Structure 1
């Protein structure tokens, strides 16, 4: 463990940085929270499940990580706004890093998706990403430094059966990433997307967030 910490210290330092990671109690988001916290970033994360979030926060506290958390269903605009108010308060009106990780998969045949299904997927996977970027913008400006990482998917550029709505939402994430990267570069805000393949987490089996 000491060798790992020494390697991180020699490689780079993120001490003093602040970050918001959505959907950080499980899966990819959980790993991102731990990686950032391991580099001494002050991290705030969110989950829809209070019990699950509390368990994670206790685990991170035991590891000496500086992580706080809030309950938030990112598919709801008012909850996103409340979360960002909390983040702004904790980090004194400034933010350095935003990781838009929370997403909903919901595998179904294309003809089986209801209007409610599509609305839920798009509000979780795309609308929340766009909105969190908008809400974070003034905090990045106050920091004079912003880094946004949107978690997309390799399925956004290929066709995979039974996840057509999910793929469409991730394609939209790719596009807004490019637009914001161009528009906000002048403000020292870099916007990128990562498109991983299938990651074996507990969320894959449940068809929930990935």
Structure 2
């Protein structure tokens, strides 16, 4: 991926000015997706159940010059899912362009049909 964004090809793929929510972004594929989106210029918000792991990843990304924010969230808790959406809406001033929802696939029915979830975008 080295310096792709600064090349002419990379400029066509620039995500500068876009916002993204990547759930489960501190490990595995989620971690790689956060990093790729940030490399292309997106401002990314991610979440994890583990605050220590989240802090470590955010510090690593900020050290690379990426614009990444995050909070803890346990997807099995409707209250925490609601709070995640509120935090993302606040951070991005209501603008969300990209959603990569890894944990939502596990809790899809709970999330999509919960009467406690309010979308603020």
Q: Under TM normalisation by the shorter chain, which class is it?
A: 0.7 to 0.9
> What does residue 50 of structure 2 align with?
49
Query: 2:64, 2:34 → 1: CA distance?
Result: 12
Which structure has the highest helix share of the two? 1
Aligned with 2:109 (options 94, 102, 127) = 127
> What does residue 59 of structure 1 align with?
60
**Do the aligned residues in 2 keep the contact of 1:25 with 1:56 (CA within 8 Å)?**
yes
Give unmatched runs, 5+ long, in structure 2: none
Give unmatched runs, 5+ long, in structure 1: 104-121, 140-210
| Larger mean Cα displacement after TM superposition, 63-72 or 6-15 | 6-15
Q: Specify which structure has the bigger relative contact order, considering alpha-carbon pairs within 8 angstroms and separated by 6 or more residues.
A: 2
**Do the aligned residues in 2 keep the contact of 1:74 with 1:128 (CA within 8 Å)?**
no
**Do the aligned residues in 2 keep the contact of 1:8 with 1:39 (CA within 8 Å)?**
no
- 5 Å-filtered alignment, 1:132-143, equals 135-136=118-119, 138-139=120-121
Q: TM-score, normalised by structure 2?
A: 0.84
Change (3 A) 1:90 1:131: farther
Structure 1 position 74, deviation (Å): 1.0
Larger Rg: 1
**Do the aligned residues in 2 keep the contact of 1:80 with 1:128 (CA within 8 Å)?**
no
Q: TM-score, normalised by structure 1?
A: 0.50
Query: 2:71, 2:113 → 1: CA distance?
Result: 17
**Do the aligned residues in 1 keep the contact of 2:14 with 2:40 (CA within 8 Å)?**
yes
> What does residue 100 of structure 1 align with?
101
Query: 1:25, 1:131 → 2: CA distance?
Result: 26
Structure 1 position 131, deviation (Å): 6.0
Structure 1 position 9, deviation (Å): 2.6
User: Residue deviations 1:121-159, cap 9 Å, x none?
Assistant: x8x432355369x744x51xxxxxxxxxxxxxxxxxxxx
Change (3 A) 1:54 1:131: farther
Give SS of 1:65's match: coil
